[in-house]
Chain A
């Protein structure tokens, strides 16, 4: 697993109540499928109308409740489209990286840097290019917004897919070769299948990552231009700016409903379905009411049969695959190298342009960057420290009670995938009301956005503590303190570390929205790297923006390389559970 953005595994839930669903085919499910199809067509029509409408940089955002469903639908569509792009990107990039060592050497570091660049770093380039490409319609702006959401989603998916493809069992690869499966068949049957559970879990995290910057991705100021797209994110942004409490509350509810709907209608059924791709023989409780019904609905069965028949038509002309046709495979062997070369060249060109851009910065600009980085770093450390202080005892307490963990899991998942910037105004209001400053409130915001990663990982770690060790420490009559020092802390340390890595990576990004806020008609800002990035975007100072983004990427990558990687390696050798 890549150390910088490891994919935490879902903590296993207790033995499932895999009660057999009754055999009666459900009529209502058929009706629902029909209804969904009609709804889908209707949605596509609305979206098409909106996207092909003439360019309207600042959409009027109405805070009336009746607009909210439509806005939510727009944001949902953007999120889903971004996810589709992320998925395709993941398959192509991850596969090329895993399959060719030469490509890997270039593509892995590039990916590592890209994932540490905050969303605002991509914003000017995307928006200016796409709006210029489609000067008359909304399409360019919409695409820019989708791509910004994409940059919040994609990276951990790529890492997960890459790691899965790399760890495919050599025996199964041998089977595929002996069976003379084509490259495409091997990809579907073997590599993609193997990667499915990890990819799915990371997809859930990715969706949350995409929502995190929804407010930024849908409404932003760039130089003298003010851009705003109709959507839930811009609705919230406007509500916060105007200090409209009831609109904010409604926006939060809409967001929560969207997350719950996604969880129940998309992720749970998918996780349930993906059970067959897991190799373990355990049966975790991943029951999905929807999947149980869909699985036995007549319509879905008919649909499955129809697609199978359709697919067969294309399967037919399978030529007798002789032992590897050399000409074709030779051509393919070079493909990843060519891709990697192109990426390498692009990276070099980008670096050149970058250094030209930041040449004009003054000494005071640089010193502001330095001090800002230091301040933001201090806030992040404070937030992570506070998060650690509360999540370790709570996480261990939950982790050691499996039934409690099972009960709490959906709630924690929900809280973790809720975009913290949307709750931030509430926290900000409280902190300011209590006489605090934005600097202090920023720490609260960072805490809100990072603590869940820690809690997740600690619960998983605590659940994995071997029962025998707990019993042995009880028999040895270790005191509470001794038990923590000798058993609990070493046992959860690797997971704690994973939590820290993910939390800190996320915190740097979150500082952008934490240190610079439009709140009740005024702009609040406190010195820090995040604030510098927000400010320079808004003022259209691209040299400063580039330098600040570069600083952040360098700090994140540098920290990963110099601190986290050696530390994880050490933890792995020192605390790995197997003797």
Chain B
């Protein structure tokens, strides 16, 4: 194999805020070859956008090194550009000026600059909009400008951070196709693309190689080659097969015990430090309502039925599984007897039942224990956050606390005062 354009060697990255350190991902190794389209796929919170920023050089990794054409890359990559999820256009510059931004400091003549500008504007279909300001454009047109700005410098590596997710479905479809057309075209300014996405279909549609990441701790789980020829057809059996394979992988990353879920784990093991997924109780119960008739469904069908992204849906499934309401053999979601029984209860009975269930779950048991050990049945939010940061170094403690508080309020397990930042026991 030829020398890779970029190699990542044991890249680890951490964020620290308010004295706490959060490890985003660990020991990431990846080679990016020229003429590839790589899609990084993964659930939210796995650090895929951060990885992209580390590769470009916007963020410096905590450890490990990045090689650019065999040499260590320090600071910004000299020939990478980035397309942003929310376009990141300068509102006070015209479309022309926005696209020209990256050309300003290239050692070119004015004529070369103008020539390149015209070609790029033409390539992405922005003719006629040159003098407009971003606020006059629709989302799709804005992202064309973002694309043009990134392409104008003829980057060796074009990075895209969920570039189509802020657009409506139809516009996203158009831009996906056009991006691939640009990649396939012989005289195109771009040969190598690295994109971050959370959509399996988008990854299979565009990428020649798909990198699946996992969260908690973040890292690369597996890499999948996608040899399908362009243009790709979503209804082609191979396309479908690959999508399902990826569904399986992602399901595995989120619900690792999916395969052995039949062998019900004994209740006690639930006290092992286990976090809870960041979903609302309303959604979790909603999942049961959906399953009530069928009793069981494929994850993929369920995702389409409720019009929800797979990784988001899987978090809901995971929550339901923690509460013992569903089982997940393979890629199926099956309602358990407990789940069905819970649905039959009225609002107050549900609260009581949920209250009993939550007491068995590690994070709630921890908070209750802390409340029991306190003087007036009050615990400072900070104390709880510190405790969580200790047990779950890969999770954002504030997000976790918010979810816990929401569930506990639902089940009347304990109270929370946001003005005093205190967790309060409910006196019985």
Contacts and interface: CB of A to CB of B under 8 A. Distances in A.
Contacts of B88: 169, 171-172, 174-175
A66 interface: no
Nearest to B91: A279
Task: Count chain A CB atoms within 10 A of each CB in B76, B91, B106, B153 and give the residue with the most.
Answer: B91
B93 interface: yes
A17 interface: no
Interface string A154-180: 000000000000000101101111111
Contacts of A281: 135
A324 B75 CA distance: 7
B23 to A, nearest CB: 21
Contacts of A277: 91-92
A47 B202 CA distance: 69
A178 B81 contact: yes
Interface residues of A, number: 31
Contacts of B56: 178
A277 B58 CA distance: 26
A189 B101 contact: yes
Interface stretch (A29-37, A313-321, A345-353): A313-321
A199 to B, nearest CB: 13
A121 B106 CA distance: 52
A279 B135 CA distance: 8
A181 interface: yes
B105 A171 contact: no
Interface string A321-335: 111100000000000
B78 interface: yes
Contacts of A182: 105
Nearest to A172: B88
A190 B74 contact: no
Contacts of A169: 88
B72 to A, nearest CB: 12
A177 B76 contact: yes
Interface in B172-225: none
Given A174-B82, A276-B133, A181 B74 contact: no
B4 interface: no
Contact of A323 (B53, B75, B82, B153): B75
A354 B105 CA distance: 51
Q: Is the interface of B mostly helix, strand, loop or mixed?
A: loop
B101 A181 contact: yes
A165 to B, nearest CB: 15
Contact of B104 (A172, A181, A319): A181
A574 interface: yes
Contact of B105 (A179, A193, A196, A276): A179
Contacts of A321: 105
Contacts of B81: 178
B419 interface: yes
A573 interface: yes
A320 B105 contact: yes
B105 A181 contact: yes
A185 interface: yes
B80 A178 contact: yes
Interface string A356-377: 0000000000000000000000
Given A180-B76, A323-B74, A175 B101 contact: yes
Given A172-B88, A175-B101, 14 more contacts: A171-B86, A175-B149, A176-B101, A178-B80, A178-B81, A180-B76, A181-B101, A318-B107, A322-B78, A323-B74, A323-B78, A324-B75, A324-B76, A573-B418
8 contacts: A174-B58, A175-B82, A175-B149, A178-B56, A178-B102, A189-B90, A320-B107, A321-B105
Which 9 A-B residue pairings sit nearest by Cβ, starting from the closest? A171-B88, A179-B102, A320-B107, A321-B105, A323-B75, A277-B92, A179-B101, A279-B91, A281-B135
